[in-house]
Amino acid sequence: MRRKICVIGLGYIGLPTAAMFAKTGWDVLGVDVNAVAVEKLNRGEIHIEEVGLGELVSEVVNKNSLCASLSPNNAECFIIAVPTPHHEDHTANLDYVIEATKSILPFLEKGNTVIVESTIPPRTIDDIVGPILQNDGWALGEDLFLAHCPERVLPGRILIELVENTRIVGGINEESAHKAAEIYRSFVTGDILITSAVSAEMSKLMENTYRDVNIALANELAKISKKLGIDALEVIQLANKHPRVNLHLPGPGVGGHCLAVDPYFIIEKDPEQSILIADARAINNSMPKFVLEQVRKLVSRKGEKVTVLGLTYKGDIDDVRESPAMDIVSLLNEEGYNVGIYDPHVSQSQVSFKLSTFEEAILQSSCLLVLTDHSEFKDLDEHLIVNKMQRAVVLDTRNCIKINHPQIKYFNYGNLYEINPMQELVMK
């Protein structure tokens, strides 16, 4: 008899996870409140963009190994992979996690394993999820097993990294951790590390906080280098020749549902001690306005057109969550610019801003602003830029475009110091 698993939440993590379990011999029920996503999944279609996911979902749905529903059902294991957004004060909103936990209560049976994959603040398993299950009469670690197994995957490589990456499994007790680890071993080839739930929660947050702090260091370097007339990109390249140095690259800010959110989950638990983490968040949050300042110097007249390339928080994906590009577009609109937007990975239904084709977006534009490093942007038609734009100026905040045409003025974090308020007059 095939083993049954129920995955609550069919987003960027839940759906690939459900599909992977289905591929490796489980009967999987995927649950989501999004009726459109459920209907598409049951037709073998997907509602998100991820390399290889469409083919995998089609395969397992056609084999009747994966189906979707608006409500849970009985299973051997329940995996909670719902979003954990934040409130306006940046504290974690755990409503979805709480609702998902409560939704499975009528279907729990003795011997079941409950795994929370959602990113959560430290002690959420011990202080919130565990008590919900205990109040329903379950003895955790004895007749019901509870664990936290945070996702650790990179968009664009999710199906590969679900299998190959090391997994951290933190149980409410040791038996719970081992039960959860056994479930993941059905497809994970990477190491599976056993620990406590609270250590698993904190390790996930620190992985992303480490990266957020490193990016903040690079962004701060970019600001200092602009003021001092230094090529920040060259400095990073030289510094990284040291065997124990690995500086990240500066950019327009930090986005996504991990790096831009997870550090706050630590800060809320101990704000007095989280000084460095909070400062890093402030630096990265300041970058959209810093980018706007550079645009102002390049395009001083309100009403002129600025073209934005890319709305997602990283290249070659369709995820706009917490994307600094979205903030920058809002700032440009507030500033009174005419904004043209092109992103080949984003559909109009995802955003309120009007999207255009590349040629429409650059027509009569005074500045081409690159905010995402999509593959499509790395080899732009330079002759089209020169012939269609009012002024052939590129500000590349992702440092990803190679410009060879002599009539195109190109700026990135290596030469920001060349931008000045008189730039527009100089280039006319």
Residues 189-243: tens digit of each pLDDT: 999 999 999 999 999 999 999 999 999 999 999 999 999 999 999 999 999 999 9
* Residue 420 pLDDT > 90: no
Residue 209's pLDDT is 97
Distance separating alpha carbons of residues 186 and 418, to the nearest angstrom:
56
User: Could you tell me the sign of the dihedral formed by the alpha carbons of 187, 191, 196, 197, in that order?
Assistant: negative
What six digits make up the tokens of 254?
């930090």
Residues designated catalytic? 204, 258
Location of structure tokens 């039960």: 179
Helices within 273-323 (DSSP H only):
275-285, 287-298
User: pLDDT confidence of 428, banded at 50, 70, 90?
Assistant: very low
Distance separating alpha carbons of residues 312 and 329, to the nearest angstrom:
12
Nearest of 64, 63, 67, 62 to residue 37 by alpha carbon: 67
* Residue 426 pLDDT > 60: no
Mean pLDDT, rounded, for 129-158: 95
What pTM did the predictor assign?
0.90
Residue 239's pLDDT is 98
User: pLDDT confidence of 156, banded at 50, 70, 90?
Assistant: confident
Distance separating alpha carbons of residues 191 and 13, to the nearest angstrom:
19
Q: Mean pLDDT over all residues of the chain?
A: 95
Instruction: Return the DSSP state at 308.
Output: E
Write out pLDDT tens, residues 80-117: 999 999 898 999 999 999 999 999 999 999 999 999 99
Residue 421's pLDDT is 59
Residue 154's pLDDT is 86
Higher pLDDT, 29 or 156: 29
| Angle, in degrees to the nearest 10, between helices 197-228 and 287-298 | 20
Residue 423's pLDDT is 47
Sorted by where each starts, the structural domains of the chain and their CATH numbers stand as: 4-196 (3.40.50.720), 204-285 (1.10.1040.10), 287-427 (3.40.50.720)
